Amino acid sequence: MHVLILGTASIIGRKLATVLVRFGVLNGTRVTRLMLADASEPEVPAELVPGDLRITTTAVDMAVQGAAQAPVAVRPDLIFHLAAIVSAEAEADFEKGYSVNIDGTRALFEAIRMLAAREHYRPCFVFTFPIATFDRSFPQVIEDDFIHAPQTSYGTQKAIWELLLDDYSRRGILDGVALRMPTICIRPGRLNRAALGFSSSVLREPLLGQEAVLPVDESLRHWHASPRGRWIPPARSNHADRAAGADHAWRLRHGGRADRGSLAYSRRSSGGADPARTRSCRWQDHRGLAGSFSPLPSPRVRISSRKGLR
């Protein structure tokens, strides 16, 4: 099986690549080729020690028209699409967000459709799906049929991804899988422009003796999962088996896995660090985030049978 990871530089992309190389098998099928792509040509991570797995790297800038054709032309059987302009950046730069997140993704779908029209080609297409597609009035339990009412351009773009994924899947052009993910933290590296980047930085920076900025109220509750969490289910097991159903977007049950609680609570999972050090967080009202997140109740996600899931 030939696997393409678009957005390898993301934490999910890196972890996914590592898992694929380590296990070499996906749902019982041997991975023979792994193509790692990002806006800049990615390096093969040091921890990757391929056996008979062939690893290639390539630069794919989704903002460039036609760029999506090259990685699809080699006909990957499984595509993980993790490349996106993240939330706060897509909000700050309207054109860049729509160009990469909408035009780039549609170009990718279209490249697949063009191939599919000429030959038997129908890859499995997996993308991740944030809570940004919901509005602020989270119910106690987010059912699978909870309406998408995004309050950001990023959320709008991701909701459009899912609509497109459903339509292209329904037409048999690809076999779409949408994974609804909790926020991954602690992420390594520096604070990026994701609106929820603070959920990592308020834990990560104090561990390095640096000040972090908390742009929301301390009482915030939010979904999160560890980078070592079991959030790569397609690579680990087949518990995401599709049931017969009209819908082609899956939402995996991650509620039981995501830690629940306030950021204060999450200090407990921050590697046994001195809780006092996390007090160097400074509160700052920032881009209205406090308003976006404050009413979050104890989150649980259930899978609705309406969506043809089990």
Question: Which active-site residues does the annotation give?
Answer: 154
Q: Which residues contact 270 (CB under 8 A, 6 or more apart)?
A: 186, 203, 207, 278
- Quick one: which of 122, 125, 128, 117 has its CA closest to 165? 125
Which one of 22, 279, 282, 306 is in contact with a second copy (CB under 8 A)?
Answer: 306
Which one of 76, 150, 182, 255 is in contact with a second copy (CB under 8 A)?
Answer: 150
Q: Which CB, 180 or 224, lies closer to a second copy?
A: 180
Q: Which CB, 42 or 155, lies closer to a second copy?
A: 155
Which H helix or E strand runs over 20?
Answer: helix 11-23
Q: How far is the CB of 163 from a second copy (least distance, A)?
A: 5
Which one of 2, 148, 193, 230 is in contact with a second copy (CB under 8 A)?
Answer: 148
Q: How far is the CB of 115 from a second copy (least distance, A)?
A: 15
Which one of 30, 65, 73, 94 is in contact with a second copy (CB under 8 A)?
Answer: 94
Angle between helices 153-170 and 105-118 (to 10 degrees): 10
Cis amide leading into 55 (omega within 30): no
Span near a second copy by CB under 8 A; candidates 18-26, 153-161, 221-229, 260-268? 153-161
262: number of CA atoms within 13 Å, CB side?
Answer: 10
Size of the chain, expressed as the number of residues it contains: 310
Per CB under 8 A, 156 contacts a second copy: yes
Place of tokens 């292209």: 168
**Rounded-to-integer distance, Cα 105 and Cα 94, Å:** 16
Per CB under 8 A, 167 contacts a second copy: yes
**Rounded-to-integer distance, Cα 133 and Cα 84, Å:** 14
**Rounded-to-integer distance, Cα 100 and Cα 84, Å:** 7
- Quick one: which of 16, 3, 244 has its CA closest to 128? 16
Q: How far is the CB of 241 from a second copy (least distance, A)?
A: 21
DSSP letter string over 123-144? -EEEEEE-GGGS-S---SSB-T
Per CB under 8 A, 166 contacts a second copy: yes
Span near a second copy by CB under 8 A; candidates 144-152, 195-203, 205-213, 276-284? 144-152
- Quick one: which of 215, 218, 134, 211 has its CA closest to 180? 134
Q: How far is the CB of 144 from a second copy (least distance, A)?
A: 9
99 to 128: interface string for a second copy, x by CB under 8 A: --------------x---------------
Site for a second copy in 206-265 (CB under 8 A): 246-247
Positions touching a second copy (CB under 8 A) are: 94, 113, 135-137, 145-151, 153, 156, 159-160, 163-164, 166-167, 170-171, 246-247, 306-307
